[in-house]
């Protein structure tokens, strides 16, 4: 019984984390933290889209800019689709637009990583409190 409860707990944390990665803020929505979810979704999407607007989708480059791509993919697995489109080299971007675009999209991804970790932590805390009650 206790083992099953522990497995369910781990599964819940995994779902919360995956949901938070799939759609920024969705993990908080699962935890019924709607205000937090909306703030995080809007802010991360705006930051990511600003980066894309400044640098074009050419800044998502899984081949030539791998370290940046690792940070960018933390926004959502859907970034991989953009990476697939731009990996052919059809969207060249250089100079300041390249730098700013990378910084904005990379920071948006790292902020979402912070939110994913926080979601999993909150999910754990909620479950522990429920089990106590």
Q: How far is CA 19 from the centre of its chain?
A: 9
Toward another protein, which CB reaches closer, 58 or 83?
58
**Is 36 among the residues that bind another protein (CB under 8 A)?**
yes
- Residue 29 has a CB neighbour count (10 Å cut-off) of 19
CA distance 27 to 60: 25
Q: 40, 49 in Cβ contact below 8 A?
A: no
**Is 91 among the residues that bind another protein (CB under 8 A)?**
yes
Among 3, 4, 35, 132, binds another protein (CB under 8 A): 35
**Is 44 among the residues that bind another protein (CB under 8 A)?**
yes
**Is 47 among the residues that bind another protein (CB under 8 A)?**
yes
Toward another protein, which CB reaches closer, 11 or 78?
78
CA distance 29 to 38: 8
- Residue 115 has a CB neighbour count (10 Å cut-off) of 24
Chain residues binding another protein by CB under 8 A are 35-36, 39-40, 43-44, 46-47, 50, 52-58, 91, 93-98, 100-101, 103-104, 107-108, 111, 114-115, 118
């Amino acid at each position: 019984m206790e083992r099953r409860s522990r497995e369910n707990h781990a599964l819940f944390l995994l779902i919360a984390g995956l949901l938070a990665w799939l759609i920024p803020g969705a993990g908080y929505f699962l935890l019924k933290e709607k205000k937090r979810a909306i703030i995080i979704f809007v802010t991360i999407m705006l930051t990511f889209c600003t980066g894309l607007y400044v640098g074009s989708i050419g800044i998502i480059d899984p081949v030539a800019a791998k370290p940046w791509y690792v940070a960018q993919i933390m926004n959502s697995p859907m970034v991989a689709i953009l990476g697939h489109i731009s990996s052919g080299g059809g969207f060249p971007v250089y100079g300041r637009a390249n730098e700013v675009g990378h910084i904005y999209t990379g920071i948006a991804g790292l902020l979402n990583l912070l939110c994913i970790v926080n979601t999993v932590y909150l999910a754990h805390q909620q479950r522990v409190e429920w089990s106590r009650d």
